[in-house]
Each structure stands twice: as structure tokens, then as C-alpha cells.
Structure 1
């Protein structure tokens, strides 16, 4: 009697990532975060806090989100990553829904990230950086009064991740890939993209 062997290959589910955007969001940071994380296989949702489903970013580039933030409430994400820019970061800060979602994310010990002025303008205002090492855009670094300010380009303190601005966005996004998926996935994404990060 012939025996058959069934190979059961388990594919890990994609990590779920939320990238909220608003009028005045920094477009380099937003698109780099989304693009790098999607290269890693993450399921990235770009969500508008605005009523419009087309956003004019800080340099007048038009961004089209996947959905409105209201539709993402209660879905559960492995990472919430805030791009910077002004007035985008202020508009993100003033979204009560985004605040509630991000504070809950942090309280659950799940990954939270922000770049450019968003660490100072949003995360700090929401109390998420209290006692944490953090960095942000040099023009706002003196406003990080509740955190242990550091001068690094990318800073990770537990589940909280911060970075400086457009020029550090690729390194920042790859750091998030590594935290979501591990070192091997970091290499898989960075090498074909010809990205070399000095560590």
C-alpha cells in the first residue's frame, strides 16, 4: 500500500501596519515608510484623518490613502507609524481617535513609531515618550522635555521608535522591518534595494 506524505508549510501571516496621514504630512517620510514596509511583506494601511480621500502633503504632493482612520478603529495593528511634517504632525496630534488608538497600542507594548517632528508634536503630547529615549528633527529637539533626548538618527527604546527626518527615513523604516520580522528580513529588503546601513 502506497503511503503519501503531505508537506504542511505554514506561512506566517503578514504583519499589520497603520500609517496615518493628514494635510501637511511629510511626503518623503510617509512614502518611504510605506514602501519599505510593503517590500517586507507587511500589510500596510495608509489612513487619512481628514474627510478627503486625497491629501495634499507638505510640499504639495498629492497622496491617496487606502481608507479613512475611522474604518481602521478596532482592527488591531502590529505597528502604528507616524510620518512627520507640519502642519501634518499637529493635525495627527489633534485627532482624538488616533490618540486613543496610539496610546492603547503603546499600553499594550506593541510597536509605535514616529519620525521628524511627530515624536515631539504628537507622541510627547500624548504622554507616550515619558521616561523614554527619543530623538526627532533638530528644530524640535528642545521640545522633547518628557523624554531622555538623544542625538541618534534612529532611536529604539523598547517598543517606541523615533527618528529625525526625511534623510533618515530609509534607515528608520528598515529598523521597523527588523523589529517586525527579524534580521533576515532586514537583509532581504535592504540588499536588493542597494541600501547599506552602517551599524
Structure 2
């Protein structure tokens, strides 16, 4: 059984040293990575996509109980250490208290930044944009200086279009980014794109792309 995988999150992803026991409704699951907008879990039996249940887990003195919705699910390509096949699924969570709990886990060192996640996302976005309209996107900014690479341009364009179509996500990312020292006097949509791209591209570069005619 294979179900189409869709992108779960836009914020920084964090990983754990070992899978974290949790429950999703009545099902026992394990969390393999986490972000402020959701988690990825593994579980032995298939679950219905679109279902919403309570996600509950505890790490140290931090207890989390929140509503999550399953966005995607697929059968793992390889068995686990016990030789069994499992399902890997993405849960979306829109809860400020959950986001605060994730930040607490980060601050206390219970989870670590997934250093490979941005590279994977960058490759996916670039491939998608080039397949759709690489040449068109580059022509839209004839005055762009050479110091902005085509890769950066593609990422910024994709993020901008995605957030235009999702105002709630754009607002959430803006509120996260605005507390940064570098965010002073920077327009909201630029900050949202900056946060979406995990602050990997300088604000000045994103601003230049937004202001180019």
C-alpha cells in the first residue's frame, strides 16, 4: 500500500536520538521527527488520511496533548530493527501551545536540528520549479544582479507563491521571524519567506527579489 506523500511542514525540523513513544487516538505510535507545525510518526497498522485525533507524548517534565490531523501516510520501504514493515505518516498541528512545547524541547536539548532537512527541501523545490517554468521565472527579474543565484531565485519565488496562497501560514511564519534582531523595518511578506526558507537566504537578498521589477 502506497499513499501519495505531501509536504507536511514549513518550519525547522528537529530529530530525536531514538523514536519517541506517543499515542495518536487509540493507536500507539513513535515520533521520529518534530517541528512547530507537526510531527512524523511510525506505526504498525494503516491509518485513515484526513483523520484527526489527540496526539499525546511526554519528554522529561514536558507533557504534550494536542489535536493532530493526518496529512499523508505510506508504507516504509525497509523493515524496522525487528524485521517488521511499518507505516510512516505526517501529522499537521495548528496549536500555539504545541509550538511553544517544541521550542522548550529544543532549549532543553531533547531534540536536535535536522541538518539535512533544508537540503532535501531545497532540492525538491528546485526540481519542481525547474520542471514547471525555470526560464520564465528567471526572465521575470531581468535586473537581478549576478550575486543572486538561480537557485536562490527559484527558492524565493516558490516560497512567495506558496505563502500568497496560504495567508494563515504566512502570518504564523511572520510572527516567528519578527522577533529576530535582523527583522527590524523588514516587510512582513519578506520575513515570512525568510522563515519559510529557514533563514538560509539573507533578508537583503529576499528583499531585492521582492522589489525587482
Q: Shared topology, TM-score over 0.5?
A: no
Between Structure 1 and Structure 2, whose CA radius of gyration is higher?
2
TM-score, length basis structure 2: 0.24
Greater relative CO (CA pairs within 8 A, separation 6+)? 1
Between structures 1 and 2, the one with greater strand share: 2
